[in-house]
Amino acid sequence: MLGELTVLMGLLAMGEAGPSPAIRAGEFEGWFGSARRGELEIPDPVTRKAAGFRYVFVGGFRNERMPGYFAQNKAELRSLGVPRSLIHVINPRSDRTSSENAEEVRSRFQAIAAEGPEKLVVIAHSRGACDALAFAIGNASFVAVHVEALFLIQGPFGGSGAADFALGRGPAVDRRLPWRHRFLVHLAGRVVRARARVAGLGVVESMTREASRTFWARVVAEHAEAVATVGPRTFFVRSEVEPSRLRFVRRAIACYLKVYVGPGDGVVALADQILPDFGTVVATLEAGHADLTQRWPASRAPRATRRALIRSILMAVGQPEPGASPSGLAVPERRPRRWRPHRRASAEATASTTVR
């Protein structure tokens, strides 16, 4: 009850919720490419504005076994002037489904928001993106008051073909897959199934393509009124990669998924990394499932890839409001000037008339 009153008072104090960032896919991808090449210069006003938000990272499946998760992303935020006190991490438990994690995720978001008046910029990866969006849709009044933007990175909203593969429910391997890859897929399947048993078959079941689509259809139907609030603040970052760029197990799974499900990041198909008719796809990048958020040995991508993601997000949330100059100051409205003849021209015309 107290929490509901707090949100209501916030809404009354603010009036209407502030505008969500306007981000176009071409802009975000351009920033990312420039940043990865080391060519992106972030203007000081953008840095200052971006440093005034509170950043919340939400980890994905098996985050407990990834000590370097988001480490370089957080370091980049700090290097750009975001205080350590404004950077938070939520790690939903991997032995629970998104539904089972919902209450804990909700409590963590509320506790983080209570630490200060700064709006939250959520950066959620993989299954953590699903946990973050499920929370947002179920708590739209909180989002309206406290959330600036949700960047959902490589989330399996349409499920993961790797989960179907682990449970033996994916398409059967046939001659469409070269014999060399068929052998690797067979070996990788044994590894993945062993991991699935450790994680819990019920959890892996919840990430299959069929279960995921059923889950999101129910969530959106139950909270249809939340779409208008949460949708404009939701930004999907997708990726795809050639299997040859990945390590053994992920390379084999990526080969399988590319042939039987479609191109993707090696774990989630490109088409499954969004929630249809919801939010905005701001980028389709070239990166594996671990490349944007994890360092070596989980990822073979250079650190510049993680830096580029953060710099692109700061460029997005640090843009001046519509009607503001690059310095952040309001641009005065110009009144249309009435045309008047030049004095000299008017005098010449008068003299000409007099001579005549």
Contact 60, 127 (CB under 8 A): yes
Greater confidence, 180 or 229?
Answer: 229
Greater confidence, 347 or 73?
Answer: 73
**Alpha-carbon torsion 92, 96, 98, 103, what sign?**
negative
Greater confidence, 95 or 280?
Answer: 280
165 lies in some domain: yes
- Number of domains observed in the structure of the chain: 1
Query: Per 3-state DSSP, what percentage of the chain is helix, strand, and coil (rounded to 5)?
Result: 50, 10, 35
What is the structure's pLDDT at 167?
A: 78
What is the structure's pLDDT at 12?
A: 37
Contact 51, 180 (CB under 8 A): no
266 lies in some domain: yes
Give the structural domain span for 106.
23-319
What is the structure's pLDDT at 13?
A: 35
Most confident of 3-12, 23-32, 322-331: 23-32
What is the structure's pLDDT at 331?
A: 35
3 lies in some domain: no
Q: Which helix (H) or strand (E) holds 121?
A: strand 120-125
**Residue 9 burial by CB count (10 A; 0-12/13-18/19+): exposed, middle or buried?**
exposed
138 lies in some domain: yes
258 lies in some domain: yes
Q: How far is CA 111 from CA 99, 104, 136, in A?
A: 20, 11, 15
**Alpha-carbon torsion 160, 292, 288, 196, what sign?**
negative
Amino acid at 277: D
Contact 63, 94 (CB under 8 A): yes
Tally the residues of the chain. 356
Section 230-256 average pLDDT: 88
Tokens of 66: 């990834």
Closest CA to 154 of 133, 177, 178: 133
What is the structure's pLDDT at 5?
A: 41
pTM greater than the 0.75 cutoff: yes
168 lies in some domain: yes
CATH assignment at residue 61:
3.40.50.1820
Q: What is the pLDDT of residues 200-214, one digit of tens each?
A: 567 888 889 999 999
Most confident of 19-23, 161-165, 284-288: 284-288
1 lies in some domain: no
Greater confidence, 76 or 68?
Answer: 76
Tokens of 219: 């969530």
> Which of 69-73, 192-196, 309-313, 352-356 is predicted least confidently?
352-356
Q: What percent of the chain has pLDDT over 90?
A: 56
What is the structure's pLDDT at 286?
A: 95
What is the structure's pLDDT at 246?
A: 82
**What are the beta bridge partners of residue 284?**
238
The answer, yes or no, to whether residue 3 has pLDDT greater than 50, is no
161 lies in some domain: yes
Closest CA to 124 of 169, 90, 163, 165: 90
Contact 53, 119 (CB under 8 A): yes
Greater confidence, 43 or 334?
Answer: 43
H runs (alpha helix) in 18-69: 25-36, 44-50
Section 250-267 average pLDDT: 87
Mean pLDDT, the chain, rounded, equals 83
Provide the pLDDT confidence category of residue 95 given band limits of 50, 70 and 90: confident
Closest CA to 216 of 170, 160, 276, 267: 276
Check residue 245 and report its DSSP letter: G
Q: What percent of the chain has pLDDT over 70?
A: 79
Radius of gyration of the chain (CA): 25
Contact 121, 317 (CB under 8 A): yes
What is the structure's pLDDT at 198?
A: 58
What is the structure's pLDDT at 182?
A: 73
What is the structure's pLDDT at 45?
A: 96
Q: What is the DSSP string of 65-88?
A: G-TTTTHHHHHHHHHTT--GGGEE
> Which of 182-186, 226-230, 246-250 is predicted least confidently?
182-186
